[in-house]
């Protein structure tokens, strides 16, 4: 049986010319997309998730003035005004340097993430959690988390740009990006403005979207201007 499976795998690889790393890459992308679809399906059917209330309850019990100030500060790093300003600076830089592929990749990655988020919010219309008092005022729909998706879109796009032009810094960039992305997502739960499932779904969809775009982007050589 194992021999037959190995033969089939080798045959498929030879026919579609996919390396093992690329197969793993595709598998991760599809799993992330499947996770989001599962979350979205439950939200569409107005079903809850067993882990949402216990996690929000635990975070509610940890609240303190100091942690609340920290969460309110961290969450601003995922806000629309901050990321829009940072994105505008990046796009202007790419335009000045005539790095058109980078400009297109970032515009599709970050802009697409934002458009996906806004569209899905309107379609599914999930109400914000009300288990405990919110520590920040939010009036839009809850699913998926906009701060989480926008910050993940910005950070993951930036990581692929760094990996392309400054590969020696990619490990540091990935560690800092993971820590900041986790902190922003956690701040949304701490402030009681999002269900944990909103955050997890947001990460899943954003990673799937940008990993898909990177399949095109990573095939391009470094721009001659750099």
- Catalytic site includes residue 194: yes
Which of 99, 126, 188, 194 is catalytic? The answer is: 194
**The pLDDT of residue 21:** 83
Confidence of residue 219 (pLDDT cuts 50, 70, 90): confident
Query: What mean pLDDT is predicted for residues 170-178?
Result: 96
Q: Is the pLDDT of residue 123 over 70?
A: yes
Cα gap 62→51, rounded to integer Å: 17
Q: Which of 147, 157, 186, 201 is catalytic?
A: 147
* Range 54-73 average pLDDT: 98
pLDDT at 224 over 50: no
Give start and end residues of each alpha helix (H) in 62-145.
65-76, 80-96, 100-106, 112-124
> Given a cut of 60, is residue 162 above it in pLDDT?
yes
Is the CB of residue 101 less than 8 Å from the CB of residue 217? yes
Confidence of residue 175 (pLDDT cuts 50, 70, 90): very high
**Phi and psi at residue 104, to the nearest 5°:** -65, -45
User: Residues 6 or more apart from 57 whose CB is under 8 A from it?
Assistant: 131, 132
* Token output for 21: 């790393």
Runs of H (alpha helix) within the chain = 2-16, 20-44, 52-61, 65-76, 80-96, 100-106, 112-124, 146-165, 170-190, 196-217
My answer on whether omega of the bond before 144 falls inside 30° of 0, hence cis, is: yes
Mean pLDDT within 84-103: 96
Query: CB–CB of 31/208 below 8 Å?
Result: no
Contact criterion met (CB below 8 Å) for 220 and 160: no
Predicted local distance difference test score (pLDDT) of residue 14: 58
Is the pLDDT at 142 greater than 80? The verdict is yes
Mean pLDDT, to the nearest integer, of 143-150?
97
pLDDT above 90 coverage of the chain, percent: 83
């Amino acid at each position: 049986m194992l021999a037959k499976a190995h033969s089939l795998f080798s045959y498929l690889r030879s026919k579609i010319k996919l390396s093992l790393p690329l197969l793993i890459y595709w598998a991760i992308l599809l799993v992330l997309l499947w996770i989001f679809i599962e979350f979205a399906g439950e939200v569409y059917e107005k079903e809850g998730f067993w882990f949402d209330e216990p996690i929000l309850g635990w975070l509610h019990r940890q609240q303190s003035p100091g942690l609340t100030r920290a969460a309110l500060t961290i969450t601003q790093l995922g806000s629309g005004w901050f990321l829009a300003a940072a994105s505008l600076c990046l796009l202007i830089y790419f335009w000045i340097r005539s790095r058109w592929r980078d400009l297109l990749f970032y515009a599709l990655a970050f802009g697409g993430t934002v458009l996906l988020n806004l569209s899905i919010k309107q379609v599914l219309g999930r109400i914000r959690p009300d288990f405990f008092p919110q520590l920040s005022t939010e009036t839009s729909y809850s699913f998926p988390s906009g701060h989480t998706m926008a910050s993940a879109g910005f950070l993951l796009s930036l990581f692929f740009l760094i990996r392309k032009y400054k590969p020696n810094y990619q490990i540091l960039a990935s560690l800092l990006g993971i820590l900041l992305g986790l902190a922003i997502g956690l701040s949304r739960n701490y402030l009681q403005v999002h269900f944990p499932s909103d955050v997890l779904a947001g990460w899943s969809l954003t990673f799937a979207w940008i990993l898909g775009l990177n399949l095109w982007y990573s095939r391009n050589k470094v721009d001659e201007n750099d």
